[in-house]
Amino acid sequence: MSKVAVITGASRGIGYETCKELAEEGYHVAAVARSEKPLKELANSYPDIYAIPTDLTKENEVDRLVTLLKKDFKSVDILINNAGSLINKSFEELTLDDWRAQLESNLISAVHITKKMLSLFNDSAHIVNISSMGGFQGSAKFPGLAAYSVSKGALSILTECLSVELSDKNIKANALCLGAVQTEMLEEAFPSIEAPLTANEMGNYIANFAIEGSTFYNGKILPVALEDPE
Ligand SMILES: NC(=O)c1ccc[n+]([C@@H]2O[C@H](COP(=O)([O-])OP(=O)(O)OC[C@H]3O[C@@H](n4cnc5c(N)ncnc54)[C@H](OP(=O)(O)O)[C@@H]3O)[C@@H](O)[C@H]2O)c1
């Protein structure tokens, strides 16, 4: 029986590429995001990718997703919490609703899906949270990214907590703090920046880390960036 991976934020960018690599490595892949069309295109190109359109900020949609996962797969080996959004506004301009939206999409949605999936994880499953260098303690900080960076910092600390709380089930959790990757998120937020890595390069790295990383790491917050974190 093939192993099973669940990837959020699979409709474009890094998540889309991670799905393809995991399918090529022989995994059954549940691809999760809100946009149905690109997910369906992925599923049509790869017989082992299953499109599950879901808004992760909506409780009833996450419940429906987990019910479908339980029906279609006995258990899950890998969860990659990759879905995210970025609001680029100065601290002064950020509204409380902006803060809530960032925490909802980058932290609470990962908390919710992880909690709901607890009974589905295999012994030795690997949870990979996709964080950011902006949320890495001591890294260079950029104006406009307060809410985003804080949400990612919290996701990183959640990872450390999960590695302890889930150790009795032998479930491993690690966070990857990515540097700049050329995706639509980066282009929309910072049109003038040219990233040193493509979504395909980063997707391949994340897929392979999700498969092998839990042998070497648990509860770690790992920078994945070419630039110096300080
Ligand atoms: N690109 C970079 O330079 C960079 C650097 C550091 C960290 N990261 C992190 O890496 C991850 C992927 O980034 P990316 O650059 O590939 O971004 P992207 O191109 O904007 O992709 C984000 C993905 O998240 C999904 N998503 C957003 N909100 C969602 C929701 N409520 N429910 C379900 N899916 C949702 C989007 O799909 P739908 O819109 O279809 O829902 C999309 O598939 C993000 O967590 C990002 O913060 C990126």
Fold of 4-224: Rossmann fold (3.40.50)
For residue range 73-101, what is the model confidence (pLDDT) as tens digits? 989 999 999 999 999 999 999 999 999 99
| Whole-model pTM over 0.95 | yes
The answer to whether the Cα torsion of 196, 109, 88, 220 is positive or negative is negative
Q: 85: Cβ below 6 Å to ligand 1? A: yes
Q: 160: Cβ below 6 Å to ligand 1? A: no
Distances (CA, A) of 173 to 34, 53, 126, 183: 25, 25, 6, 25
Ligand 1 atom closest to Cα of residue 131: 7
Mean pLDDT on 155-177: 98
pLDDT of residue 229: 55
The two beta strands, 4-8 and 28-33, are parallel
| 226 pLDDT more than 80 | yes
Ligand 1 pocket: which of 21, 34, 104, 113 to mutate (most atoms within 8 A of CB)? 34
For residue range 183-225, what is the model confidence (pLDDT) as tens digits? 999 999 889 999 999 999 999 999 999 999 999 999 999 999 9
For residue range 101-117, what is the model confidence (pLDDT) as tens digits? 999 999 999 999 999 99
For residue range 28-63, what is the model confidence (pLDDT) as tens digits? 999 999 999 999 999 999 999 999 999 999 999 999
Share of the chain above pLDDT 70, in %: 98
Q: How confident is the model at residue 2 (pLDDT cuts 50, 70, 90)?
A: confident
How much distance in Å is there from the Cα of 83 to the middle of ligand 1?
4
